[in-house]
Structure 1
């Protein structure tokens, strides 16, 4: 009995209308001392108030399961994307209820406004939708769904606590991956600002000698076979397939820097997942290497259907390290893992020429054996500072330093290009489009 009363008391909430009625009753009793003609009015009002409160308590508490609620959530959330969630609520009372719904979302979002108000007729149900945008990979813990229910009388509310604690993993941006995948399949990839590259020439992978037919390239005529057969014969070539594409992700301290709430490492991880998926759609083999002061994950290139899930699981677990990248270890890892000439896309970051000079000898060695594409990040905050007009001496100093650092980024691109290393200097928010553009251009020009 004590437990039942405690539960009743803990789930009972008094509304603003309840306290307003109490204040009115107190005022009436006070006025009755000065104005005797009020008579029994205060007593009648207070008695009616108690009757209404008792009636509403009976309406809300006589039915033990008057409200049904359940959270609708996907099995996993996509990092840096708007993920759709919902709360299904159903009114099982025989009267119309006013409802307030709270979802206890993970603390990482730092949001306290996931609160919904709605009205449900008897037997009616609704799905209350909302979105969450995580900015960090990992496991997110959701709490309970809490529903506050009141009748049209509006003096009290009853609280329902739906025990629905659950943990949802946040994976790299698979929603963006699917979006680019659909664009690639439907040949509408240019809608995302991705260039359509004209394919030049043909590959040199010989297939067979066949009879010449009008329309064949006369430069491919095989004159020796023609002399033997007595009719024109031509060499047939096939498009090169199953080239190896590796994304190498630097997860050292240079990738810890945040932009718009997301670290550079997460930008690189999202871009790698999207790019490798597009590469597999183009019949290439996709592989992954992560590196810091120690060797991280190595996923050998493959194009089997399970490869993408293997890459996604590997990227989900990656975290930023706090030491510099061991470039010698990266070189030996690439030489030991990549058995044929491959496209190596290295996601890293340089803030100064001295940072580049420490890594350049190793990058040049890698570029001797593979087609190396270095992707690093434009500091958008420095760019904004350099473009703003200066108003005093301090701002002139800040603007000068910002312009100097932005100019260093351009010098880094020039230095890498001088040594035959392809380079992308990209703002973090444009990374997906820029890397796919570069890959499609390399693929079309058959540089691998």
Structure 2
């Protein structure tokens, strides 16, 4: 064609020249502004283990034209996820926020990388990269996001909304609160006749739950607590429940303490109800890890006798996979129950429970189902064995641990058994 129309040979050269001009224009308008984009990652100072933690990225366009962005957030390797990748467009001066959640399943330090932003102008010939918020380290602490909900559980009249049962009080507490005017429905046995004579109207004594009682969470760190369910180990479930129970206990004006045990005694936090107590407990539990040996309950018993001077509630988080394992530890549990109200908390194997309800398709399936039912039945026998020796117990699914333990504490508090 160029033989007949010589001007056709100039079109590729003109087109290439136009592309180069547009490329230089794109480079110029993007790089003339040193800070054309601003971005920052907004998170809490620490993450809550086992919970959905909100993360926000805020991006602002400082160019005088519309830009298209690709935003990549380099999240910690512990999540085993590819970097969070988002695409959006911004008009001049616009500010937009990107929201997503992260659920850590291990305590410790989590390293965030850069927020990498690739922008393109309406010409779309080049991308410019920006980096923001590099090398940010956040600690992951025992679960604290839902502590407000558990506080409400301790004071709300509508406890059934949280899975908490209404407990009928037995007897009358001896902890005096105040003298008030009699109203219909008050117990006539609480009428204060001296105050009535002075006032000239019926006055009654009111009582409140006993306070300042010792509530110790004892956490087993041995190998039996390594088993994972939904990403969290049994130790992590026990730690999260201990933090929530300590918070509720202090809200009820009791003293919260902590003991961790494996083949040796780990951390000991004496019971107290000062404002910094919960922070102390969380800082201790932040560092705790499971061990590979069996717990030394004889050492635990001697430590309890040394540390816990007054009678209190001992909540022992552990796990037994067989009756023989329980029988090995039973003598020491009986000794502790002699001096304190002992509540042993151990776990259902939810995967075995699901397996036992499935319909078997062959001989192998029947065999697996039979073994699963045997282990489930043994767990129920453990509850009866502990009850036979006057030891309270809670057998619970890991996911329901916190609610069930708080429910049991409130029940014992209402029944004045502590």
Both structures adopt the same fold (TM-score exceeding 0.5): yes
In the TM superposition, what whole-angstrom CA distance separates every residue of 1:371-413 from its partner, at most 9, and x where no partner exists?
1110000000111111111111111111111111111111111
Q: Specify every segment of 5 or more residues in structure 1 that has no aligned partner in the other structure, as ranges.
A: 1-30, 224-231
Q: Higher mean Cα deviation, 167-176 or 82-91?
A: 82-91
Answer yes or no: is the 8 Å Cα contact 1:202–1:239 preserved in 2.
Answer: no
Which residue pairs with 2:41 in the alignment? 71
Matches within 5 A, 1:120-269: 120-204=90-174, 239-269=209-239
Distance 1:61 1:382 in 2: 61
Distance 1:410 1:57 in 2: 72
Answer yes or no: is the 8 Å Cα contact 1:71–1:164 preserved in 2.
Answer: no
User: Aligned pair in 2 of structure 1 residues 207, 141: CA closer, same or farther (>3 Å)?
Assistant: closer
Given the alignment of the two structures, is residue 282 of structure 1 paired with residue 252 of structure 2, yes or no?
A: yes
Given the alignment of the two structures, is residue 42 of structure 1 paired with residue 32 of structure 2, yes or no?
A: no
Distance 1:193 1:328 in 2: 36
Which residue pairs with 2:406 in the alignment? 436
- Name the structure with the higher helix share: 1
Matches within 5 A, 1:19-34: none
Answer yes or no: is the 8 Å Cα contact 2:209–2:413 preserved in 1.
Answer: no
Given the alignment of the two structures, is residue 301 of structure 1 paired with residue 271 of structure 2, yes or no?
A: yes
Answer yes or no: is the 8 Å Cα contact 2:154–2:410 preserved in 1.
Answer: no
Which residue pairs with 1:4 in the alignment? none
Distance 2:185 2:85 in 1: 68
User: Aligned pair in 2 of structure 1 residues 213, 388: CA closer, same or farther (>3 Å)?
Assistant: closer
Name the count of aligned residue pairs.
409
Answer yes or no: is the 8 Å Cα contact 1:91–1:120 preserved in 2.
Answer: yes
Q: What SS does structure 2 have at the residue aligned with 1:156?
A: coil
Answer yes or no: is the 8 Å Cα contact 1:57–1:156 preserved in 2.
Answer: yes
User: Aligned pair in 2 of structure 1 residues 299, 57: CA closer, same or farther (>3 Å)?
Assistant: same
In the TM superposition, what whole-angstrom CA distance separates every residue of 1:78-101 from its partner, at most 9, and x where no partner exists?
011111111121111111110111
Answer yes or no: is the 8 Å Cα contact 2:153–2:164 preserved in 1.
Answer: no
In the TM superposition, what whole-angstrom CA distance separates every residue of 1:252-299 from its partner, at most 9, and x where no partner exists?
100000001000000000011111111111111111111000101111
Relative to the length of structure 2, the TM-score reads 0.91
Given the alignment of the two structures, is residue 271 of structure 1 paired with residue 241 of structure 2, yes or no?
A: yes
Q: 2:344 aligns with which of 374, 396, 399?
A: 374
